[in-house]
Structure 1
């Protein structure tokens, strides 16, 4: 990852993802999580305070050692056991049909092979398990001006923010991986530049 990716970027992400404006969205996307949860792109643990009482344990997938260290206070304060269980969302170290629910927040935009990661999430979810997601991506059809700016800015944005894409479409990727989206909100955040694109918050069902 290099010095920037290992020592600087996790601190930038920790500050940016800790914004107060994101807390209501984190609370919403965590609603309905239950049982054993796998969270891909755990980051520095900003979702931990919003895990509902029905959660019994969380397997955190996080590649950054510094990110995991920055999450230490949140992990210690968690109401449920949270363990770092893997480094790569594209290759999860679990048996099939292990988890009741899965969670991802602003992660599918960055994972190098998001399609592989989604296939892995589907594999480790029990039949009928749900995947709760909060992602940003390509602006909706009709906002062609925003889309053009996203495509222009994406190469620089990827270099600055660890490979984060501006033009991925989470719902299309979920559908291609075999999920069925059962709930979805698409919206712009007022506190975020429109060039970041629209956020998608929803739940997808695993067959």
Structure 2
């Protein structure tokens, strides 16, 4: 009888010890593994969509070349959420770029892309978050954000930080997937249905954010936006916006 009562106790104790070990090492066991997975899958996605977005990015990043000509100097650019650094080929020559990325597992993929480009751009990597940019006020001529605001925890704070680190007259250049405009359409409903799963699989990425409204409310002096549909994307993240805003 005593043996029968003691067995469940030891069994329960063993389970609790295992759970405690998993909890103690959760950063390396779960979180770190997930970040590695997301860096890998986001790099694969970037490779697949890079060509499809080439025309739109070429048009969009012409703003950087025009601004460089106006300023008659080499630019200092901050790219927020740079990932595998797929935008470098669109930047003007002799640009100094600071790539801010929270996931350190993207560094190796970004370095591979830098070697492929082989241009005259200078690149530095900084690990940090968009809501708390580790830079002084008015540090950059340009801030670039592509497919990032869908995932940040606080979009309003992120935009405040972007505006803070921009020099007066500087440009915020963006490209984001957003929610459908018609909130009564089947497409909007699909976005809502897919959102929970999409957040889990893609590091908090939301399918239906009203990003344009947030950018317009951020207090920039000038705002230009182009709404387009990127058909290679799944239908629940197909509507996109791109454009720029001036501090």
| TM-score, length-scaled by structure 1 | 0.91
The match for 1:69 is 108
Root mean square deviation of aligned Cα = 1.8
User: Residue 49 of structure 1 contacts residue 74 of structure 1 at CA under 8 Å; is this kept in 2?
Assistant: no
Secondary structure, counterpart of 2:163 in structure 1: helix
Asked whether 1:32 is paired with 2:66, we answer: no
Q: Give unpaired runs (5+ residues) of structure 2.
A: 1-26, 69-74
Q: Distance in 2 between matches of 1:107 and 1:65?
A: 16
Relative to its length, the structure with more strand (as a share) is 1
Secondary structure, counterpart of 2:39 in structure 1: helix
The size of the alignment, in residue pairs, is 205
Match of 2:182 among 132, 141, 157: 141
The match for 2:84 is 44
Secondary structure, counterpart of 2:132 in structure 1: coil
Secondary structure, counterpart of 2:131 in structure 1: coil
Q: Distance in 2 between matches of 1:69 and 1:160?
A: 21
The match for 2:34 is 5
| TM-score, length-scaled by structure 2 | 0.77
Match of 2:151 among 106, 110, 123: 110
Structure index of larger Rg: 2
**Quick one: structure 1 residues 165 and 180, their matched pair in 2 at CA, closer, same or farther if it must change by over 3 Å?**
farther
User: Residue 171 of structure 2 contacts residue 244 of structure 2 at CA under 8 Å; is this kept in 1?
Assistant: yes
User: Residue 231 of structure 2 contacts residue 238 of structure 2 at CA under 8 Å; is this kept in 1?
Assistant: no
Q: C-alpha displacement at 1:4, in angstroms?
A: 4.1
The match for 2:98 is 59
User: Residue 30 of structure 1 contacts residue 103 of structure 1 at CA under 8 Å; is this kept in 2?
Assistant: no
Q: Give unpaired runs (5+ residues) of structure 1.
A: none
Q: C-alpha displacement at 1:180, in angstroms?
A: 4.5
Relative to its length, the structure with more helix (as a share) is 2
**Quick one: structure 1 residues 190 and 86, their matched pair in 2 at CA, closer, same or farther if it must change by over 3 Å?**
same
Q: C-alpha displacement at 1:143, in angstroms?
A: 6.4
Q: Distance in 2 between matches of 1:181 and 1:138?
A: 23
Asked whether 1:176 is paired with 2:217, we answer: yes
Q: C-alpha displacement at 1:66, in angstroms?
A: 1.3
The match for 1:123 is 164
